[in-house]
């Protein structure tokens, strides 16, 4: 079952005005199937917004906006009954390095009811050959992003997120963890997208060296990840924002 479906089990539909605070194909597609008064999606990327606006199921009360959480005028004067933050905070560094604390404050300030937050716990040091392979795939993916001049994602620990939410007076009403499983097919997909990024390198020699590394990672995955291995986890928090409002107004 999708993590987002878990939320509806605890907070049955219909929902009121809903904000998808870091929208994308998965969360927006899911939201369009739920009964809500209105849906608003925020993304930093114009191309992503355009693709999402073309999804079937959009009503006149639904909109996908391009904006940045660091803009103090974003969603000025608006509040939402439900906010989804689906892998938003781990992506923050790409657009606003070290802005995660302020982003938590701004997202909470837009919420009059519930914030549902999904995040990926940063990978711990690997303990097995399977985990070492997964760790190196993530390292290589991030290294390639850096070499292309982009900032990679920076995932945040659940404990860090909880501490900063509670410091702003919101209450974490419930929380769940879901172990992540990865197999050789997952590595093959991740390495294939990494290899596409290598096509963008101007230094062809460096790209060639890194392609050999990709090949080696695929071989190790075929050996150690024939059956899926568990590594790190996703967390899902249900945050009651009604208590935070007095502090944020
Ligand atoms: C990893 S994606 C989220 C995944 C998405 N929920 C999905 O279903 O695919 C992160 C989203 O948050 C947005 N985002 C990250 N940092 C942002 C910022 N500082 N301001 C506005 N949007 C931001 C990105 O543009 C993107 O739409």
Q: Does residue 133 sit in helix, strand or coil? A: helix
The answer on 248 and 141 residing in a single domain is no
Q: Quick one: pLDDT at residue 249?
A: 46
Residues 134 and 52 both lie in one domain: no
Q: Per residue in 59-72, is it b (16+ CB within 10 Å) or e — as a string? A: eeebebeeeebeee
| Co-location of 57 and 137 in the same domain | no
Measured in Å, residue 242 CA sits from the centre of ligand 1 at: 24
Are 82 and 109 part of one and the same domain?
yes
Q: Is 23 in the pocket of ligand 1 (CB under 6 A)?
A: yes
Averaged pLDDT for residues 155-171: 97
Q: Give the residue-averaged pLDDT of 129-143.
A: 98
| Residues 29 and 139 occupy one common structural domain | no
Same structural domain, 11 and 63: yes
> Distance from the CA of 173 to the center of ligand 1, in angstroms?
24
pLDDT at 243: 73
Please indicate, yes or no, whether residues 165 and 70 belong to a single structural domain of this protein.
Answer: yes
Q: pLDDT tens-digit profile of 205-246? A: 999 999 999 999 999 999 999 999 999 999 999 999 987 655
Q: Whose CA is nearest to atom 7 of ligand 1?
A: 24
Phi, psi of 247 (to 5 degrees): -70, -30
186-200 residue pLDDT tens: 999 999 999 999 999
Q: Where residue 117 sits, what CATH number does that domain have?
A: 3.40.50.150
User: What is the H or E stretch that residue 215 is in?
Assistant: helix 204-224
Q: Specify the ligand 1 atom closest to the Cα of 27.
A: 8
**For position 245, what pLDDT does the model report?**
56
Pick from 20, 21, 22 the residue to mutate for probing ligand 1's pocket: most ligand atoms within 8 Å of its CB.
Answer: 22
Nearest 5°: the CA angle 65, 116, 20 is 10
Average pLDDT over residues 14-19: 98
Number of domains in the chain: 2
Short-list 237, 224, 27, CA closest to 130? 224
Torsion angles phi and psi, residue 148, rounded to 5: -85, 0
Of all atoms in ligand 1, which is nearest to the CA of residue 28? 8
Residues 33 and 95 in one domain: yes
Task: Give the separation between CA 97 and CA 92, rounded to whole angstroms.
Answer: 7
pTM for the model stands at 0.95
93 lies in the same domain as 216:
no
For 24-57, how does the pLDDT look when each residue is reduced to its tens digit (9 = 90+)?
999 999 999 999 999 999 999 999 999 999 999 9
| Shortest-distance atom of ligand 1 to CA 96 | 19
- Same domain? For 217 and 241 the reply is no
Domain range for 133 is 124-152+184-226
Q: Which residue would you say has higher pLDDT here, 157 or 243?
A: 157
3-state secondary structure of 83: strand
Same-domain status, 117 and 211: no
Residues 140 and 164 in one domain: no
Q: In the predicted model, is pLDDT for residue 121 greater than 70?
A: yes
């Amino acid at each position: 079952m999708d993590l987002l479906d878990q939320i509806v089990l605890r907070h049955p539909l219909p929902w009121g005005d809903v904000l998808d605070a870091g929208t994308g194909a998965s969360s927006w597609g899911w939201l369009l199937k739920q009964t809500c008064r209105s849906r608003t999606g925020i993304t930093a990327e114009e191309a992503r917004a355009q693709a999402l606006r073309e999804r079937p199921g959009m009503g006149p009360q639904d909109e996908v906006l391009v904006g940045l959480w660091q803009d103090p005028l974003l969603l000025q004067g608006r509040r939402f009954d439900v906010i989804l933050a689906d892998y938003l905070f781990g992506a923050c560094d790409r657009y606003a390095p070290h802005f995660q604390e302020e982003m938590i404050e701004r997202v909470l300030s837009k919420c009059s009811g519930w914030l549902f937050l999904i995040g990926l716990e940063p990978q711990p040091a690997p303990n097995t050959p399977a985990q070492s392979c997964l760790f190196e795939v993530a390292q290589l993916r991030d290294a390639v992003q850096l070499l292309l001049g982009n900032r990679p994602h920076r995932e945040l620990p659940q404990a860090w997120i909880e501490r900063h939410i509670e410091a702003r007076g919101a209450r974490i009403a419930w929380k769940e963890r879901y172990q992540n499983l990865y197999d050789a097919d997952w590595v093959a997909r991740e390495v294939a997208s990494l290899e596409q990024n290598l096509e963008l390198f101007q230094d062809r020699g460096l790209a060639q060296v890194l392609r050999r590394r990709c090949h080696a990672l695929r071989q190790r995955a075929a050996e150690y990840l024939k059956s899926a291995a568990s590594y790190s986890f996703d967390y899902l928090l249900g945050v009651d924002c009604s208590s935070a409002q007095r502090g944020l107004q």
